[in-house]
Amino acid sequence: MKLPSLLLLLLSGVSGFLPSCRSLSPTPAVPHPPLPTVAKVDPAKYAGTWYEVSRLPNFFQKSCVRSMAEYTALPDGTVQVRNTCYKAKGRISSVTGTATPVEGSGNARLKVKFGGLASLAPVPEEGNYWVIALDPQYRWAMVGTPDRKFLWMLARQPQLPYPVYLQLKAQAKSLGFDITRLLPEASSPPGLAALRKNKPEPDPSPKPFTP
């Protein structure tokens, strides 16, 4: 298809501004195995509103109590992305950008770029928005980056069925994401947190997940 970018990736374009602020002598990145994506994404089906259910912490969403994304498929094959961040005390902010599918990726990898100062942030040729899980009916999706620093779980409704959440969480762990840092209670509607208190964690060796 922000395809669209999880909403939140859109914002991820901003992350390129402060990559070296942590140290004058950056620590070499730990190599990761290739990150598999879904085989194909239909931009028309992926378009519309997505609610963020869970995410890994990131600085550009630090003040977001909840977030949502709007994706619009354009005639030229790109996708317009609009991410909205709902903050404390009723404050709202949004950012708009464009997602361009990476050639040969089946629209499962996109290069998301935003306007303003964010447009100065470089976008890798392989894309910065990778769809790694997708419901056949496009009711939920999981998006990440190959360096495993960013991860979002998205759904068409504010709540994600708890069994699906556990399944996605197990898949994310198997792919090398640090699921101990996920922010379900902080970033999703109360329903997920309440269910989590009354449900067991998934088996540490879950069956392979096929979206």
What is the reported pTM? 0.75
- Check: CB of residue 128 under 8 Å from CB of residue 21: no
Q: What is the CATH number of domain 8-15+34-197?
A: 2.40.128.20
Burial call 99-135: b when 16+ CB within 10 Å, e when fewer: bbbbeebebbbbbbbbeeebeebebeeebbbbbbbbe
What are the sequence ranges of the domains in the chain? 8-15+34-197
How would you write the pLDDT of the chain (211 residues) with one tens digit per residue?
Answer: 444 443 444 334 333 322 222 223 344 566 788 999 999 999 999 999 999 999 999 888 888 888 999 999 999 999 999 999 999 888 999 999 999 999 999 999 999 998 766 666 778 889 999 999 999 999 999 999 999 999 999 999 998 899 999 999 999 999 999 999 998 644 444 434 434 444 444 443 434 333 3
Task: Retrieve residue 32's tokens.
Answer: 């990761």
Nearest to 158 by CA among 194, 190, 189: 189
